[in-house]
Amino acid sequence: MQAKSHVIRKHGSEHGIKCEKCSKTFLSPSHLKEHFRIHTGEQPFCCKICQKRFSHNGAMKSHFLLHFGEKPWSCSNCPRTFAKKKVLDDHVKFVHSKLRCYKDLVLSKKTLISFCLKYISLDFNLSIVNGKMVE
């Protein structure tokens, strides 16, 4: 009963707050406000370098890293790094999920990395010279 009263007291409703435009529900007013920007087109966050605007602060921060070439997200299956976690997640999903078919062929991490480099080079029309990708 305490959890139910907490939700109603803090979030206004036991079932969440409903968006007037699309009827999607949210547990907090701040999440609804953030979501509502989809409908209004509001983009309050601005990149200080190129002035590109964003509806979410996280998207702006992620974009900002691109200006400096920072890639803080590393793949645990191969040597690739990424500026955005979403891109890393997509990479793992679409590149490494195919490795399941080859799991009997993967004998070591070195073999795995070699396989990944070959797969990536085919996808992006690159060559591998001395273990490094080149155009």
Ordered by start, the domain boundaries in the chain are 2-40, 43-70, 75-134
Q: Are 56 and 43 in contact (CB under 8 A)?
A: no
Q: Is 17 helix (H, G, I), strand (E, B) or coil?
A: strand
Tens digit of pLDDT for each residue in 44-86? Answer: 999 999 999 999 898 898 888 888 888 888 999 899 998 888 8
CA dist 105 and 48 (Å) reads 48
Q: Is 133 helix (H, G, I), strand (E, B) or coil?
A: strand
Q: Which of 101, 67, 65, 100 is nearest to 86 (CA)?
A: 65
The pLDDT, as a whole number, for residue 61 is 87
CA dist 106 and 116 (Å) reads 11
Confidence band, pLDDT 50/70/90 cuts, at residue 105? very low
pLDDT exceeding 90 applies to what percent of the chain? 21
Handedness of CA 59, 60, 63, 65 (dihedral sign): negative
CA dist 104 and 48 (Å) reads 49
pTM above 0.85, yes or no: no
